[in-house]
Structure 1
Amino acid sequence: MTTSRRAALAASFCVAAMTLTACAESQREEGGGSGSGGGGEQASGGTMTFGAAGDPKLFDPFYATDGETFRVTRQVFEGLLEVKPGTAEVGPGLATEWESDEEGTEWTFTLKEGVEFHDGTPFNAEAVCKNFERMSTQEGAGQSPSVSAYWQDTMGGFADGKAESLYEGCETKGEHEVVLKITRATSKFPAMLTLDAMSMQSPTAMDEYKANDVKAQGEGFAYPEYATKHPTGTGPFTFEGYDKANKSITLKRNEDYHGEKAKLDELIFKVIPDESTRKQELKAGSIQGYDLPNPIDWEALKADGNQVLIRDPFNVLYLGLNATENPDLKKLEVRKAIAMAINKEQLVKTQMPEGSSVASQFMPEAVSGYDKGIDPIPHDPEQAKQLLKEAGAENLELEVWWPAEVSRPYMPNPEKIFEAIRTDLEAVGITVKASSKPWNGGYLDGVDTGKAQAYLLGWTGDYDSADNFIGTFFGTTDNRFATGEYEWGEELAQDLQAADGTVDEKEREKAYQKLNKELVEDYLPAVPLTHSPPAIVVADNVEGLVASPLTAETFATVSIKE
């Protein structure tokens, strides 16, 4: 989840995405082909050049908030736990085993042996604790939500005690066992350790290049040399450099990797902001892949011989509703009327990619806590009109926002989706006023500050956790629902926190299923619309890339056919 996505969703449901994927021409470089190996018998050599949609923010994953940074750092760094390829399931990483005490507040991790960081520093229990000490003791600019967003989203406050923190401490138990302590049981833990921001980094390199020396600078931040030139992890690729002039980031195979070595000699991320240019460069062979191809291009890309890898849906698109800006929306009948007016089945058929589905709740089916017994809100224009009449809102006027200059995994063409929804709303007598701003040019800020009456937004999950979806959206007692917009807001937040703290997995799943049902039947603070499968495209000579529902692909298994 990016900071902007977190903030925007925080405004949606007052919500927190995504998506981790963030949205110059770039000088052409040779790509593909074969090269000399040198990485062992598993390594096949060659170079892959991938078309990135934007510049990375930096290369220290702890301070990162954007998908293009994580796309790079994911190849260089590893976490204690990792998401199993092609799934949202938590699996081993640098930790091979883990278990908790009965209260769910002390977690013991058995660490993989024989692992070194790229600079030769041993990875061990002491290194783990130094990483968590580094993360938890941020000061000054390091505590800005724009800098350490993921820590604050998951752990809360820092060691100074100014704000409550989930993190309590780290203890070593010998060289290859470590205990992480948290202040309360939560469904987020240990899944949050799969986040790129929680990756393990070399204590030696962080000390040498002053990793924590981030400073406020104008409206932004200045990051230390570690974050821009010397990121040091344990992953299958090492960081070679960032050529700003040619807009390219180069990674090399880690010849001393502790596991199966990467098959590529070299992995290059070439920044190409324009999607049509990315498509042209793929056709020309100067890149071998790019992310989020427009669904209307899928068939043409396939016809040209490319592989369009379609990810399993792990997202939700919704129409956010803000009763503070439009008091009519405070009435449940009005919110239900809007939901019934929208033909979600038609939206899936005409505006969304193949494999999309109508959303019945605010999380996809793959997440534990999803209730298969909940039916989508039906398309019923006549009932919608009746509900508006009963609410005294037959002449409802609604300003609906949609974002320009963007395509999201859950929202491939915002304008067309908006037009379809406007047609449906107007068909039941609602007067719709359109408002559009660029995604990063006023849209997210406007939604975040509560200026929009209704707005299109969505969310791609960071890991398999109901709390990462509805807990993030509604689970804080200081969100707008809990502080006056709705009489049920505080109770809902408390119920979500109780569900998150339930240690027994089956009981927790039942609690979330109950809350999902209440959200769409009794509360309906927004209208869930669709789940959709975003794609990633690679050339026909690319082998071994496994598409991730979290849009979190790794490239160690990739090779280039001659």
Structure 2
Amino acid sequence: MTIQRLPGYRQRYLRCVLSAVVALGAVAASAMPSAAQEVLRLPIATDFDSFDPDNAFEMDGLAAINNVYEGLVEYVPGSADIRGRLATDWDVSDDGLVYTFDLVNGATFHDGTPVDAEAVVASFQRRKESDLILSYFLWNLEEIEATDEDTVELTLGMPQPSFLDSLASPWGPKVISPTALSEHSGEDNAAEWLDTNAVGTGPYQLASFDRGQGYVLERYNDYYGDPAFFDTIELPLMPEVSQQVLSLQTQEVDAVPSNYPWAQLAALPPGLEITTAKSTSLIIGFIKPDSPLTDPEIREAFLTAINPEGWVEDAFGAYGHPAKSLYPTIMLDPETPLSFPTDEDAAKQTVADEGPISLTIGISTEEANALGRVGDLMVAELAAIGIDATVTILPSGAAFGLRDNPDGPDMYIGKLTPDALHPENQAAIFFTENAPINFYGRGLPEADALVAEAGTLTDIAERDALYEEASRLYIENGLFIPLVEVDDVVVHPEGLVDFDLRAAYAPGNIDYGSVRWAD
């Protein structure tokens, strides 16, 4: 390791020590790099609502929760494949209703409690039976049983091919120490205690929870798996990306996990580099029901002007890619990718024939930094064909009230991430009529029916064909417009490796258990 890879305060300390070594000739300098690489400092932009793995839809804090707690299975980094975590293997019954998991040997919770089947049962029952935010992951679970000390059997109410994806999701069910649950159950099933405390099985344990300031994880030395490289993970709260960038450049933190300014990625300061991976972050436009964009001819002209091929590089450099469908490519790579119209003369003529056209493009204040450039580029492209467009920034949370807001923007654009990598998790969350994040609440019965049918299929090719057809119908009927897929991009010092980025995670969630300094 070189001095330049270390946080600034450790550099200063190390240089002082090395100077003393040279002057006194008494200390072996070779021992210092090992001592100086104990801490990894990774800023988080948004504070924790809760550290309870069953009761918070954290985004920046996903990596912390998933390194303290573990589920039965997880996604393979960079893939939609699923592998075991606390389960070594599993079987599914022929009727698709019974899932049997064999547990790892030798795992313990951070309080020393052994991991066994009854512990898994207690955790799954807590999530299933409590009024917790993430209980919906187990909506179809009818029964959970410990058939022996190391075997858990889950019985569903109906076949659900996406069930393993729900278990592998970073927000999926985790296993909590039954001792901690019992000791702190109170009247809320330990919800208040687990807001700021944690007892899981992961490679790290929660050492300090200082809301509004930052958090500290410490390596769990009795972890059953491969030991983590760093002794301590420090997670200072830094809401402004400019502060994160400055702290990285002064070596006070070891990465900017997400939202590093796109325009600056092509010319990083010496000593910094990029780790990137495909993600499920997809920028999508939601069309207001009574917008001029519901007119097919106007929409055709609009699509011609906002074709992402014309502006994606300006917005995201090499890390943005025109969307192929309403699904992230790592989830579903369509046989027939989306194609935008390209006849600009026809688009100009349509606008001239239809008379003055004015449109508003909405962006939430939470995404203004990330998507403001997108809005500005689209406005410029629309002006070229004669459409007067403006960008409006919506107050925090206002996007979720758009279906009841007659004055909402003609198109709302958001950068969306599903909670698992099965296409059902994309369609049922964003596109079907009653989907919770279908911002305008619009529905298309024939497309919704295809989504419902696809959700029952286990044949991947047959399933994906139906999801792709539903995507085509939603787009052609003017409900949604997929725009750009955005890569997961982490900026960090040279030599920091093995981030194990997972597409199902919100961008910037590094696997603390795998990241290390290269030899």
When residues 547 and 484 of structure 1 are mapped into structure 2, their CA distance, relative to the original with a 3 A threshold, is closer
The residue identity in structure 2 corresponding to 1:226 is L
Deviation at 1:416, TM superposition (A): 2.1
State yes or no: 1:204 paired with 2:182: no
State yes or no: 1:329 paired with 2:293: yes
Conserved 8 A contact 2:364-2:393: yes
Deviation at 1:387, TM superposition (A): 5.5
When residues 129 and 511 of structure 1 are mapped into structure 2, their CA distance, relative to the original with a 3 A threshold, is same
What is residue 453 of structure 2 aligned with on the other side? 498
Give identity over the alignment, percent.
23
Distance in 1, Cα, partners of 2:226 & 2:379: 52
Match of 1:395 among 353, 356, 371: 356
Give CA deviations for 1:212-250 in whole Å, capped at 9, x if unaligned: 7289xxxxxxx5122213x111000111112347x1211
When residues 43 and 304 of structure 1 are mapped into structure 2, their CA distance, relative to the original with a 3 A threshold, is closer
Match of 1:228 among 188, 191, 196: 196
State yes or no: 1:384 paired with 2:344: no
Q: Secondary structure at the match of 1:366?
A: coil
Distance in 2, Cα, partners of 1:333 & 1:213: 55
When residues 510 and 299 of structure 1 are mapped into structure 2, their CA distance, relative to the original with a 3 A threshold, is closer
Deviation at 1:539, TM superposition (A): 2.0
Distance in 1, Cα, partners of 2:338 & 2:219: 49
What is residue 5 of structure 1 aligned with on the other side? none
What is residue 73 of structure 1 aligned with on the other side? 65
Give CA deviations for 1:169-198 in whole Å, capped at 9, x if unaligned: 212221111111222223321111122331
Q: Please tell me the root mean square deviation across aligned C-alpha atoms, in Å.
A: 3.1
Q: Secondary structure at the match of 2:359?
A: strand
Deviation at 1:446, TM superposition (A): 4.6
State yes or no: 1:420 paired with 2:394: no
Q: Secondary structure at the match of 2:167?
A: helix
The residue identity in structure 1 corresponding to 2:335 is K
State yes or no: 1:537 paired with 2:494: no
The residue identity in structure 1 corresponding to 2:194 is Y
When residues 46 and 360 of structure 1 are mapped into structure 2, their CA distance, relative to the original with a 3 A threshold, is same
Deviation at 1:316, TM superposition (A): 1.4
Count of residue pairs the alignment pairs up: 486
When residues 518 and 74 of structure 1 are mapped into structure 2, their CA distance, relative to the original with a 3 A threshold, is same
Distance in 2, Cα, partners of 1:48 & 1:287: 8
The residue identity in structure 2 corresponding to 1:470 is A
Distance in 2, Cα, partners of 1:394 & 1:106: 61
What is residue 15 of structure 1 aligned with on the other side? none
Conserved 8 A contact 1:309-1:535: yes
When residues 422 and 364 of structure 1 are mapped into structure 2, their CA distance, relative to the original with a 3 A threshold, is same
Q: Secondary structure at the match of 2:149?
A: coil
State yes or no: 1:467 paired with 2:424: yes
When residues 502 and 482 of structure 1 are mapped into structure 2, their CA distance, relative to the original with a 3 A threshold, is farther
State yes or no: 1:512 paired with 2:471: no
Deviation at 1:321, TM superposition (A): 0.7
Larger radius of gyration: 2
Q: Secondary structure at the match of 1:78?
A: coil
The residue identity in structure 1 corresponding to 2:424 is D
Deviation at 1:449, TM superposition (A): 4.5
When residues 483 and 462 of structure 1 are mapped into structure 2, their CA distance, relative to the original with a 3 A threshold, is closer
Distance in 1, Cα, partners of 2:273 & 2:449: 46
When residues 518 and 490 of structure 1 are mapped into structure 2, their CA distance, relative to the original with a 3 A threshold, is closer
What is residue 173 of structure 1 aligned with on the other side? 147
The residue identity in structure 2 corresponding to 1:176 is D
Q: Secondary structure at the match of 1:307?
A: strand
Q: Mind listing any 5+ residue stretches in structure 2 that lack a counterpart?
A: 1-6, 15-33
Q: Secondary structure at the match of 1:91?
A: strand
State yes or no: 1:191 paired with 2:135: no
Conserved 8 A contact 1:74-1:196: yes
Give CA deviations for 1:432-455 in whole Å, capped at 9, x if unaligned: 2432235x2x54345464433212
Give CA deviations for 1:313-346 in whole Å, capped at 9, x if unaligned: 422112221114x3x3333333333222213112
What is residue 22 of structure 1 aligned with on the other side? none
State yes or no: 1:548 paired with 2:511: no
State yes or no: 1:254 paired with 2:220: yes
Conserved 8 A contact 1:311-1:534: yes
Q: Secondary structure at the match of 1:546?
A: coil
Q: Mind listing any 5+ residue stretches in structure 1 that lack a counterpart?
A: 1-27, 35-41, 143-147, 156-164, 216-222
What is residue 52 of structure 2 aligned with on the other side? 60
Q: Secondary structure at the match of 1:234?
A: coil
TM-score normalised to the size of structure 1? 0.79
State yes or no: 1:118 paired with 2:86: no
Match of 1:366 among 288, 307, 330: 330
The residue identity in structure 1 corresponding to 2:456 is G
Q: Secondary structure at the match of 1:354?
A: helix
Q: Secondary structure at the match of 2:271?
A: coil
Give CA deviations for 1:518-558 in whole Å, capped at 9, x if unaligned: 333x3231221111213112223534323333334211122
Distance in 1, Cα, partners of 2:295 & 2:446: 18
TM-score normalised to the size of structure 2? 0.85
When residues 226 and 528 of structure 1 are mapped into structure 2, their CA distance, relative to the original with a 3 A threshold, is closer
The residue identity in structure 2 corresponding to 1:294 is P
Q: Secondary structure at the match of 1:512?
A: helix
Conserved 8 A contact 1:336-1:524: no
Conserved 8 A contact 1:333-1:387: yes
